[in-house]
């Protein structure tokens, strides 16, 4: 089944929220864990216990694992596999992007079902041009995986690139319309999504890409349920609000973590 179909089914079953696993040094300290491989290992295991089989999406942030070198990557690989075994969809946040031949190798690393680090979807950066992402779309399609392309990011520096005009459309608008073309005709939705931050103020672009919209910036970066209602009202069924610190701050108690995601889901479903 395609990633778009699996995402739609998971959102209906569990609610739309995505929980990010971002083991910041500060969060490890708050959870009374050492800022070490052992601390990371424990943090990731608690997240798996709390979220696997209980939420639609989990988004491990690769950077927080990579900072511990090879041992951190081993923990990331195990975390991805443990989550996926329970059917929880893993969006690996690696924000890759490169010339086509190298992009193909990254795609093989993260989207080929036979790869040790295979995830259900990854995040990619289109700075080398939308066409450079084609290997990600091709490998994803062959493996029923998904791809989330950065379009309107949650950071304040994003507009200097994303709002720039390219002909008579903005760079972000160009990304969104090319995603819409890739997803055209797919039902219940396509597998190629966009990342659009909850903090962007105004959209000013057509978000009807017939694909999932990953919406970070919700929670710790200041985005609220009201922002999501306002920015995404016409495409709300495709919105996957993503929060990391907002939920993880409730840890390390497993039921408190689960309750926190349940609250996020119920606030959003009420929207």
Ligand X SMILES: O=C(O)c1cc(=O)[nH]c(=O)n1[C@@H]1O[C@H](COP(=O)(O)O)[C@@H](O)[C@H]1O
**Minimum CB separation from ligand X for residue 241, in Å?**
10
Q: Is 219 in the site for ligand X (CB under 6 A)?
A: yes
Stretch that binds ligand X, among 48-56, 104-112, 134-142, 218-226 (CB under 6 A): 218-226
Measured CA to CA, the distance from residue 198 to residue 264 in angstroms comes to 14
Give the C-alpha separation, 45 to 57, whole Å.
16
User: Which helix (H) or strand (E) covers residue 269, if one does?
Assistant: helix 254-269
**Residue among 2, 61, 143, 265 that touches ligand X (CB under 6 A):** 61
Residues 1-20 close enough to bind ligand X by CB under 6 A: 20
Residues 231-260 that bind ligand X (CB under 6 A): 242-246
Total number of residues that touch ligand X (CB under 6 A):
19
- Taking phi over 0 as left and psi of -120 to 50 as alpha, with beta for the rest, 204 belongs to left
Name which of residues 35 to 54 contact ligand X (CB under 6 A).
none
Contact 214, 91 (CB under 8 A): yes
Catalytic option among 78, 84, 95, 230: 95
Mark whether 95 is an active-site residue. Answer: yes
Q: How far is CA 123 from CA 40, 109, 194, 231, 255, in A?
A: 22, 13, 9, 21, 29
| Contacts (CB under 6 A) with ligand X, residues 143-202 | 153-154, 195, 197
Tell me how far, at minimum, the Cβ of 224 lies from ligand X, in Å: 13
| CB 198, CB 221: distance < 8 Å | yes
CB of 244 to ligand X, least distance (A): 3
**Rounded to whole angstroms, what are the CA distances from 61 to 69, 120, 211, 240, 242?**
14, 14, 22, 16, 12
Q: Which of residues 77-136 bind ligand X (CB under 6 A)?
A: 93, 123
Cβ atoms of 236 and 268 within 8 Å: the answer is no
Closer to ligand X by CB, 2 or 154: give it: 154
- The residues annotated with a catalytic role in the active site are 95
Q: Which residues bind ligand X (CB under 6 A)?
A: 20, 22, 61, 93, 123, 153-154, 195, 197, 216-217, 219-221, 242-246
């Amino acid at each position: 089944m395609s990633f778009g179909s699996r995402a739609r089914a998971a959102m209906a079953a569990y609610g739309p929220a995505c929980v990010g696993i971002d083991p910041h040094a500060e969060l490890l300290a708050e959870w009374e864990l050492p800022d070490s491989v052992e601390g990371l290992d424990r943090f990731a295991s608690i997240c798996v216990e709390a979220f696997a089989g209980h939420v639609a999406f989990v988004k491990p942030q690769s950077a927080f694992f990579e900072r511990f070198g090879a041992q951190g990557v081993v923990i990331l690989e195990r975390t991805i596999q443990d989550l996926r075994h329970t059917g929880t969809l893993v969006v690996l946040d690696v924000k890759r992007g490169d010339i086509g031949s190298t992009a193909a190798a990254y795609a093989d690393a993260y989207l080929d079902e036979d790869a040790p680090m295979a995830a259900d979807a990854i995040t990619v950066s289109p700075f080398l041009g939308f066409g450079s992402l084609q290997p990600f779309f091709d490998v994803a399609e062959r493996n029923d995986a998904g791809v989330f392309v950065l379009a309107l990011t949650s950071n304040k520096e994003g507009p200097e690139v994303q709002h720039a005009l390219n002909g008579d459309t903005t760079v972000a608008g160009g990304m969104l319309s090319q995603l819409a073309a890739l997803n055209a005709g797919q039902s219940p939705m396509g597998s190629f999504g966009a990342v659009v931050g909850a903090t962007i103020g105004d959209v000013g672009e057509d978000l009807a890409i017939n694909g999932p919209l990953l919406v970070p910036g919700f929670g710790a970066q200041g985005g609220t349920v009201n922002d999501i209602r306002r920015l995404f009202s016409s495409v709300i069924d495709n919105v996957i609000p993503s929060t990391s610190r907002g939920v993880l701050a409730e840890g390390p108690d497993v039921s408190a973590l689960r309750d926190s995601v349940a609250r996020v889901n119920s606030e959003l479903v009420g929207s």
